[in-house]
Chains A and B, each alone.
Chain A
Amino acid sequence: MTDNTQTIGELIITRIFDAPRDLVFRCMIEPEHLTHFWGPVGVSTPIENITVDARPGGAFETIMVNDSDGAEYPSRGVFVEIVPPERLVWSEPDSGMTTTSTFVQLDDGRTEVRIHQTNVPEMFRSPEAQAGFKSSLDRFAAYLATITR
């Protein structure tokens, strides 16, 4: 049951991993694992560049390094919620972005990870504002999707 309704500035992505849920969850919060995959293609994240304090209010900070020119891309996050091995939420004060990761154990032993990322500005975060914002933007977002494909 994947909710693929998106609004502008919001991202939902799911992936099924051939691994048990406990292991996938640990990979997302332990630097010795994060260092192997956190940077996208052409970018590394050395283990000494990763700070994880896995509790609400704790730091989640990374500095990714461009493999070709050594340029550094720091990212400062704070954990909002940690429910091993089901749910992980962090926010990035600099960009206003919040990332929610949900881990679902499938019957066949695999694990589905769902990432929900938003950078909706602060003023739209109240439940009432969000409800109004989402309902009328659904059509708009659907239209947006047709022109980005």
Chain B
Amino acid sequence: MYWLNTCMPTALEDDLDTMFAALADRTRRAILAHLAEGDRTVNELAEPFAISLQAVSKHIQVLERAGLVSRGRERQSRPCHLEVDRLAPAADWISQHREIWNERFDKLQVHLDRLQSETKKDKR
């Protein structure tokens, strides 16, 4: 059942923790925002930042370990690529919880309707 995951701390939670840890740094978040627009080489990614190429490379390594970024093999520049699928746990968490609240609220409106029609009957 889809909502089981939400009731038990599982791999989903671990994935989110790893992801949040990688995202804890401002530069890394900015790198991901650039990659959301398309693949970039390390040189291209380093351009907007006042830090060394080496420092940018280290940030990219952290993102790679979190699975958020992969490096191409085909060219010497090895362009960086945003791993959109890794975002799925976060996207799932949102949609699962949205589903739970929607179903809860559907039931709540039915309950409220019943309460209010009972009150009207009592007044008669």
Contact = CB atoms under 8 A, between A and B. Distances in A.
B98 A13 contact: yes
Nearest to A94: B9
Contacts of A129: 24
A139 B23 CA distance: 14
A143 B29 CA distance: 13
Interface string B1-13: 1011001110001
A144 B87 contact: yes
Contacts of B23: 8, 133, 137
B103 to A, nearest CB: 4
Contacts, number: 113
A40 B20 contact: no
Contact of A9 (B24, B29, B93, B113): B93
A33 B111 contact: yes
User: Interface majority SS on B: helix, strand, loop or mixed?
Assistant: helix
Contacts of A42: 1
User: Interface majority SS on A: helix, strand, loop or mixed?
Assistant: mixed
A47 to B, nearest CB: 13
Interface string A123-144: 1100001001100110110011
Contacts of B105: 15, 17, 37, 113
A18 B113 contact: yes
B90 interface: yes
Contacts of B101: 11, 13, 15, 115
Interface in B1-41: 1, 3-4, 7-9, 13, 16-17, 19-20, 23-24, 26, 29-30, 32-33, 36
B20 A120 contact: yes
A149 B16 CA distance: 20
Contact residue range for chain A? Answer: 35 or more
B91 interface: yes
A69 to B, nearest CB: 10
Interface of B: 1, 3-4, 7-9, 13, 16-17, 19-20, 23-24, 26, 29-30, 32-33, 36, 84, 87, 90-91, 93-95, 97-105, 107-113, 115-116
Given A13-B98, A37-B105, A41-B103, 11 more contacts: A9-B90, A18-B113, A36-B111, A40-B99, A73-B7, A73-B8, A123-B20, A124-B24, A136-B30, A137-B23, A148-B94
